[in-house]
Each structure stands twice: as structure tokens, then as C-alpha cells.
Copies of this chain bind each other. A is one copy, B any other.
């Protein structure tokens, strides 16, 4: 059966310290397409191969970090089904009317145990990927794929407390798989949990942090490892601060590069990774292989990668 319930991470709302610098970073350099500025001055972006109106919302603020993230669900009835289940799980659910969020249908909003504001919505205006739907072809016009050649918003990694509880919500209420986990080799405590609602190795992930509601990174999908290398070349050209990469994750097996936006929010572009199915065994990494789990091409444990978060 095709995907039902929660389909994908459809929107991430990020706080930036300077909107001009942020537009330069996400638009001109990364090559996301700026599609709208709202009355409050928030700026909206989409990746070229997405059909929905936007996937990234930037808000200028005094601190960086993530305001909320939102999953698109299959249909309106899914929202009706999920609302009581989320309440039954023990969370308060706020109903947000259609139109409050631009181009968007009604939403449900709730705070995860890990301290992250999450939303669900079933509808967002579709503006297409520029190829059309009749004899669409395979390549858009020159200039559409630009900058880092980003295809799609892919996933986010969130840092917080009680990550087992957040993961339990995704597994028990939203029906996600636990594709991988990183545990403490001594006590067995969950240090990072990777959850999939698709054939991707993860659609959302949580990493244990001493404080709730932290933002580790938002990740965008590239088409190939060649494009990862190309993005790395541009990152170097623009002197964008690099956290790690290019390197390959042990977890997910994706080829990755981490870098920071001008406000200090971590971004990732990546490509590859294995195909996950519900019958794929959960993969478990422990801290004896922390280096290989995180960066499998040099096995270096990078303190900054584990401790620098925003929000």
C-alpha cells in the first residue's frame, strides 16, 4: 500500500539572526527557491523537485534555532484519526485553522516530550516542480537546478530530553519504524534514535541532549554523490563554516556534509543511504563505535557534532 498517515517532513521553520544574510545563504548559495515573503517578513523557500509551495520558513529573531517542524499527512481524515490518539498519548493538541499558515490547510500542533513543537497538516498549495505533468521531461530549464542542486527537504535531527518518549510517539501513534539507534555501550541508554515512515533510513531523528527543544540540523537531499562533492566545492568557495564532511555516515550510509548558516543553524546536504523497509532489522550502534557510527570514512568522534546545537 502506498504511504498513508504521516508522509514526510514537509516544513521546517527556522529562526535566523539576519534575514539578509539568511536569504543569501539559503537562496543564492544553497540555491533554494524563494517563493514568498509574508506580512510578518518571514521568507519561504522550496527545493526544485518538490511540488508543494514551500518547505522552509525563515523568521528573523534574536536567537537561532527551530520554531517548529511539520509533517504532511495523507489527507484530512488522517488528522481526525490522529488527534485523539495524540491526546491519548498524553499530549495537548492545538487546532490551527486553515489559512493561519499561508498556503496551508488546517493544522494540529503539539509539543513533543523532547521539547519540540510539531505540526501536522494535510494540505498545502502545490505549485509543481516546473516540469509539468504532461510529457514532463527529466530536466528543468537551466537555472532551476542551481547552487547546491538540492532536490528536496529530507529530514531533521532534533536534540532534547526524553527522546525515547518522542520516539515512542512516532512508533506507537504515527507508526514509524525505528530504523537505527545509537546506545550507550555501558548502560544501554538511547543516545540517538532514527525513525522512518518510508523507505528512507530516517524521516526524523532525535539525539539526547541535556536541555529540551534543541535543533541539531535540517537536511536536504541531493541527487548523487557527485552533487555532494559539488556542494562541498561551493561551501568552500563561499567560505561557509563547515562542521564535518564530506564524509559517510555509518548510520544511514548516506554521504554527507554539515555546515552552518550565518546564524549558526546546522544544515546538511546528503545523498545515498540504504533502502529501509518495515522488515529491515533495526540497526544498533553503541558508543564503542561512535566514530564509525557518525563518520564512517575516518571514524573520528567529533565533539562539536555532538554538542553544538541551536534553539
Chain A residues within 8 Å of B, Cβ to Cβ: 1-8, 49, 51-52, 72, 74, 126, 128, 133-139, 142, 146-147, 151-152, 174-177, 196-200, 221, 223-226, 229, 232-237, 239, 242, 246-250, 253, 255, 257, 272, 274-275, 277-286, 288-289, 292-293, 295-300
Give the dominant DSSP class at A's interface.
loop
Q: With A248-B138, A255-B229 known to touch, is A1 a contact of B277 (CB < 8 Å)?
A: no
Q: How far is the CA of A221 from the CA of B275 in the complex (A)?
A: 10
Q: A134-B285, A225-B225, A236-B299 are in contact. List 15 more A-B contacts (CB 8 A).
A: A1-B175, A1-B197, A2-B175, A7-B278, A133-B282, A133-B284, A137-B292, A138-B296, A198-B198, A199-B200, A223-B272, A229-B248, A229-B255, A232-B297, A233-B297
Give CA–CA (A283, B226) in the complex, Å: 26
Residue of B nearest to A133 (CB): B281
Cross-chain pairs A/B with CB under 8 angstroms, 10 sampled:
A1-B174, A2-B278, A52-B279, A74-B279, A135-B288, A135-B292, A137-B296, A226-B226, A242-B297, A246-B247
Copies of this chain in the oligomer: 4
* Nearest CB of chain B from residue A2's CB, rounded to whole Å: 5
Most buried by B among A174, A234, A299: A299
How many angstroms from the CA of A20 to the CA of B279 in the assembled complex?
A: 33
Residues of B within 8 A of A51 (CB): 279-281
Determine if A236 and B297 form an interchain contact, defined as CB atoms under 8 angstroms apart: yes
- Smallest CB gap from A142: residue in B: B146
- Which of chain B's residues have a CB closer than 8 A to the CB of A283? 133-134, 136
